[in-house]
Structure 1
Amino acid sequence: MKKRLTVCASHLITLPSAPHGPVRSAIGAAREAVDEFDPELVVFFGTDHRRAFRSVVPTFAVVLEATAQGDVAGPTGSYDVPADLGRALVADLVAHEFDIATAYSAALDHAFGHTTRDLLGTISSKPVLPIFINCASPPHATFRRAASLGRRVGEFFADKRVLYVGSGGLAHDLPGFREPETGVVLTEEERQEWIKSVNSKARSEGTIRELVRTWDESFLAGIGGTAWEWLDSIDVDLVERGGNGAAECLTWTAAWAAGGQGLTTLAHEFDTSGRAVVMSAR
């Protein structure tokens, strides 16, 4: 029986407003594979869009209790988080010299919620251990460090049938995340209006970055194998080549390293939102 399944996917791809392209179809194929695999545990490497982690932003954190915010038409409710396993993982990571934070409770946003729902049906249908990776508030970890974290997580759960998930976009640029966190707490409605105004201003001023698909292709080639040499070059001039949203692929990198096998690209669409679904099983 296969002991590991790894799925990495963009979030927001099943919104009614999202394009009905090959990535949208691929998430359905990935869900069928997850159903067949029937994991006993889901280890979810995800990020946050400055909703859950604001005044203190750890580089990495294991979440011991989690709810879903329901933002951007996402799910609501509580995740089934195996807190004892999470505590044991934190202790193991500290013993292996990772400065890991413990989030005793977190209201996770769509970076976790959408992909969990897309792959599992509901956020509470399987035990899910969320591992937060900061991708939105620089400075963030290197890709090599994210891989090192993922590899240790995979070693810790080697005796379990685990689905490893990484959620985020490939090359894309988010004007709203170019400025430091202000500390101002907005309602979700206020937040969406602010995002629209920032994006509109960026378009009118011509400051939307023109990205090229070569960063996507280099990244997908890297996680398609098992070598680690590419991890250093993928980080070089990251924002210029992939936009500030490309840092979300730190979650993919951790999931790839945890699974320990090259991933197969099921679908990839290069555009301003960096959509793709990749998967591998062992």
Structure 2
Amino acid sequence: MKKRLTVCASHLITLPGAPHGPVREAIGAAREAVDEFDPELVVFFGTDHRRAFRSVVPTFAVVLEATARGDVAGPTGSYDVPADLGRALVADLVAHEFDIATAYSAALDHAFGHTTRDLLGAVDAKPVLPIFVNCASPPHATFRRAAALGRRVGEFFADKRVLYVGSGGLAHDLPGFREPETGAVLTEEERQTWIKDVNERARREGTIRELVRTWDEAFLAGICGTSWEWLDEIGTDLVERGGNGAAECLTWTAAWAAGAQPLRTLAHEFDASGRAVVITESA
């Protein structure tokens, strides 16, 4: 029986009206693979768009209790989080010199919610252990450090049948996340108004970054192999080459290292929105 399955995907793929044919079809294929694999545990490496973590933004955090916010047409409800396993993982990571945070409760946004729904059908369909990776509020971890974390997580769960998930976009730029995190707590309506204003100002001032697909190709080539040599170069001039949204691939990197197998690209659409689905499985 297979012990590991890894799926890395962009979120918002199945958002109503989203014109992403090949990637939408690929997430369906990934869902079928997940159903067949039938994991006993889902370890989900995800990020946050400055909603759940504001006054304190950890680099990495294991979440012991989680709800889904329902933002951006996402799901709502409570995740089935195995808190005891989470606590044991935190203890193991600290023992292996990772300065991991413990989030006793978090309302996770669409970075977790959309992909969980796309792959599992509902946020409470399987036991899910969320691992937050800071991607939106620099400074964030290096790609090598994210891989090191993922590798240790994979070693910790080596005796379980685990689905590892990484959720985030490839090359894309988010003008609303260029300004430093202030820690201010906004309502969702206030937040959406502010993001809309920032994006409109960026378009008006001509500061939207024009990205090329070479960063995507280099990253996908890295996770479709087993070497770690690419991890140092991929983060060089990240914002200029991949946009500030490309840091979301730290979640993919952690999931890739946890699964410890090369991934296979099912679909990739380069439109500066970072959409792709990759999958791997091992015996």
1:272 Cα deviation (Å)? 2.4
Cα offset, 1:35, TM superposition: 0.2
Cα distance in 2 for partners of 1:68, 1:48 equals: 12
Query: Which residue is equivalent to 2:143?
Result: 143
Q: What is the rounded CA distance, in whole Å, between the counterparts of 1:103 and 1:138 in structure 2? A: 19
Mapping 1:62-77, distance limit 5 Å: 62-77=62-77
The residue aligned with 1:10 is 10
Deviations 1:6-54 (A, max 9, x none): 0000000101121141001100000000000000000000000000000
CA offset at residue 189 of structure 1?
1.6
The amino acid that maps onto 1:178 is R
**1:45-84, aligned counterparts within 5 Å?**
45-84=45-84
- Give the secondary structure class of the aligned counterpart of 2:68: strand
**How many angstroms does 1:204 deviate by?**
1.1
For the residues of structure 1 that align with 2:206 and 2:263, how far apart are their CA atoms? Answer: 36
Further displaced range: 140-149 or 176-185: 176-185
CA distance in 2, matches of 1:185, 1:98: 29
The SS at the match of 1:132 is strand
Q: For residues 49-128 of structure 1, what are the structure 2 equivalents within 5 Å?
A: 49-128=49-128
Shift of residue 183 of structure 1? 2.8
Shift of 1:138: 0.3
**Which runs of 5 or more residues in structure 2 are unaligned?**
none
Tell me how far apart the structure 1 counterparts of residues 51 and 75 of structure 2 sit (CA, whole Å): 15
Q: Per the alignment, in what secondary structure is the counterpart of residue 113 of structure 1?
A: helix
Does the residue aligned with 1:15 lie in a helix, a strand or coil?
A: coil
The SS at the match of 2:179 is: coil
How many angstroms apart in 1 are the aligned matches of 2:60 and 2:182? 21
Q: Write the distance in 2 (CA, Å) between the matches of 1:38 and 1:60.
A: 27
* Amino acid in the other structure paired with 2:77: G
- Letter of the structure 2 residue corresponding to residue 120 of structure 1: L
SS in 1 for 2:155: helix
Distance in structure 2 (CA, Å) of the matches to 1:274 and 1:200: 20
After superposition, the C-alpha distances for 1:121-157 in whole angstroms (9 at most, x for unaligned) are 0000100000000000000000000000000000000
**Alpha-carbon offset, residue 273 of structure 1:** 1.1
Structure 1 gaps, min length 5: none
Check whether the contact 2:54–2:184 (CA below 8 A) recurs between aligned residues.
no
CA deviations on 1:172-226 (whole Å, 9 max, x unpaired) are 0000100011233221122112111111110111100000100000000000000
Paired residue secondary structure (2:88): helix
Which secondary structure state, in structure 1, belongs to the residue aligned with residue 2 of structure 2?
coil
**Pairwise CA RMSD:** 0.6
Matched letter for residue 102 of structure 1? T
CA contact (8 A) 2:54 2:185 kept: no
Distance 1:42 1:210 in 2: 36
**Aligned-partner SS, 2:130:** strand
Q: How does 1:17-32 map to 2 (within 5 A)?
A: 17-32=17-32
Partner of 1:253: 253
Asked if residue 278 in structure 1 is aligned to residue 253 in structure 2, the reply is no
Would you say the 8 A contact 2:55–2:184 is kept in 1? no
Contact 2:67 2:79 in 1 (8 A): yes
Deviates more, 1:42-51 or 1:10-19: 10-19
SS at match of 1:211: coil
Aligned partners of 2:17, 2:186: CA distance in 1, in Å?
24
Distance 1:180 1:64 in 2: 28
Tell me, in whole angstroms, the C-alpha distance in 2 between the residues paired with 1:229 and 1:20: 32
Q: Return the offset for 1:66.
A: 0.3
Provide the TM-score with structure 1 as the length reference: 0.99
* Matched AA of 1:130: P
CA–CA distance in structure 2, aligned partners of residues 53 and 190 of structure 1: 17
